[in-house]
Chains A and B, each alone.
Chain A
Amino acid sequence: MSAIEMRNIVKEYGDGFKAVNDVSLDIADGEFMILVGPSGCGKSTLLRMIVGLEDITSGDMLIGGDRVNEKAPRDRNLSMVFQNYALYPHLTVFENIAFPLRLMKGISEDEIKRRVSEAAGMLELNEHLDRKPANLSGGQRQRVAMGRAIVRQVNAFLFDEPLSNLDAKLRGQMRTEISRMQRRLGTTTVYVTHDQTEAMTLGDRVAVLRRGYLQQVASPRELYEQPVNMFVAGFIGSPPMNFMPAVVTGDRLKLPFLEVGLPSSAAGQVSDGQLLIAGMRPDHFEDARLLDPVKRERGAIFRARVDVTEWLGDSQYAYLPFESNPEVAKQLADLAAELDSEALRTQLIISIDAMSRLRENHEGEFWADTDRMHLFDPKTGINLTRDEAAAADLASLEQEELADRRGELAK
């Protein structure tokens, strides 16, 4: 078990394309780190540089304090679960899991048997040991791949989108399984995914990448509440954050549907008449009729026509269409394209109480928690209202948790 440190890592291909650009990242011993981003952001390349399957163009890669840039994969003592599992089709489940042990010298047959059955037991694979990978279900294959990863003592586990080939239900189960396994073994883990749900639920910290550049490294909570820019804000959270045009008029801010006071944190950075982008999460809204009266005081009330509602039993979404400013619309379309989605229409997606009986095509009264709104510079995408103090609080919380876990393991 070791810490992994990356110092100014660059990956440049022969044609000059930089897949990874000046990434520095410290992963603490025992930490579960997620690398996340849309396709082509360089997350897999970065992972493959950690494990040694990809040359590092420049920068230093340190594992447990040793520089490993020039080391072959086998000398780095890491284990990896591949996206397609990479199970050896000619070997049985037992032999697949035993494979890394067989490559090491001086391990007795008994020892191999003991370790394989221990790993298999942890993953409930014991009854499948004699089968070949071709005869296993997707979830079982995934577990065999994990078994092969945990069968020996390694410095770190690496996962390359391990759940992307499973169906939604199984993905949920395996997610929990991976989390449980990592907590139990306490091994440093780096996990690549493009799925923001996996990123949020699994990681101690999440590193968000965009076109080879590191955007933000923080706990899921911090990413959600204090994103550094529009990209992170738009990537984290589902349904995604709502982005609306916001025009500064004096000390007020004009948004579609409502007008609010200009937040003090942004006040010094903007000029009168400037166009900004306001970001509000769906859960920062509520049906005004079902609102806790205490909350009513610190927000804004507005009326709007409901286009469509989606009732999910435990929650409900309402869609409120609005006319957007063309400049903002263009910005949002670009952002959507980068996030592998499509901006179809400008609308507010809000999460309201499932009890709400709002009707489609009727007006309703809504409440917005404007205190939690973020303002972004439309040109740079930088968050003008990020609360550094709150962010630092969240970060120290995460550190405490990790320290706690380490303490538990040490016992």
Chain B
Amino acid sequence: MKASRSTQLFWIAGAILIILYALIPVFWIVSLSFKAGDDITNKQFLPTVWSWENYKTVFASDLFTTALRNSVGMSIIATTISVILATLAAYAISRLEFPGKRLVLGVALAITVFPVIAIATPLFNLWRTIGLYDTWLGLIIPYLSYSLPLSVYVLSAFFREIPWEMEQAAQVDGATAWQAFRRVIVPLAAPGVFTAAILTFFAVWNDFVFGITLTSSEAARPVPAALAFFQGASQFSQPTAPIAAAAVVVTIPVVILVLLFQRKIVAGLTNGAVKG
């Protein structure tokens, strides 16, 4: 549809408003993280003096650096395993006929519906008995089961879009099943797998409930949980400025991924939801 100049201006104004809406809270926490000393209570949007002090504090604290290491490590491991398992499952679901296919999808759906907290508390009991409490593995396992449904749905939606005629064409052209998979299907499926990986990473990186219920120390506590347990100089006041700085640090990977892959993320989110 052709839009007149004035309606286009209207949409542009809308776009700018939305961008502000999305970014102001982010700028706010960034600006907060640069406020040093008493500047934090200046009640203004911007700091009077921009200072790296809070970042130095945060990176000097073992609490944060271990949590960051935990978060990065567990997210990468969980994302990798989850995407590998989900790719295999999604391939089977979108391509093969086997009894119980609906059961797999049903279980996946049931998990997305089930409240995380309802799983976390029984897991808390179980992990304590079998010694997984407060370990990386104790968190990676629930991360897997909670991110799998999402990746399975995103990937099956994506795999359904692949023109599978290609695979048959390749077979007619003389390819073995493995050659058809390796030379034709993998290059076509790779973007979808990549998108699923990003979405899975977001989900795992965001976890808070498992983080606070299944850990009790620095051994496995991820950043979101650690932020809530940050303690300042005095026992009772939360160190606002360092928390802001830490929050900014953990937001950086998200922003980078969004900047690089916004198109893929949008496609992945909408495909999985609407068609799956």
Contact = CB atoms under 8 A, between A and B. Distances in A.
B174 interface: yes
Given A84-B163, A99-B173, A53 B168 contact: yes
B184 interface: yes
B84 interface: no
Interface centre among A84, A99, A148 (most CB of B within 10 A): A99
A116 to B, nearest CB: 13
Interface residues of B, number: 17
A79 interface: yes
Given A84-B163, A86-B163, A90-B187, A73 B176 contact: no
Contacts of A86: 163, 165-166, 168-169
Contacts of A82: 165, 168-169
A53 B165 CA distance: 10
A72 B176 CA distance: 9
Contacts of B170: 88, 99
A15 to B, nearest CB: 13
Contacts of B176: 72, 74
B173 A148 contact: yes
B211 to A, nearest CB: 40
A88 B184 contact: yes
Given A84-B163, A89-B188, A90-B187, A74 B168 contact: no
A73 B179 contact: no
Contacts of A77: 174
A46 B103 CA distance: 34
B72 interface: no
Contacts of B188: 89-90
Nearest to A84: B165
Interface in A73-121: 73-74, 77-80, 82, 84, 86, 88-90, 99-100, 103-104
A88 B172 contact: no
A100 B175 CA distance: 8
Contacts of B183: 99
6 nearest A-B residue pairs (beta carbon): A86-B169, A100-B173, A86-B165, A73-B171, A90-B187, A103-B174
Interface of A: 51-53, 72-74, 77-80, 82, 84, 86, 88-90, 99-100, 103-104, 148, 152, 158
Interface of B: 163, 165-166, 168-176, 179, 183-184, 187-188
Given A77-B174, A86-B165, 17 more contacts: A51-B172, A52-B172, A53-B172, A72-B176, A73-B168, A74-B172, A74-B175, A78-B172, A82-B165, A88-B170, A88-B187, A100-B173, A103-B173, A103-B174, A103-B179, A104-B174, A152-B174
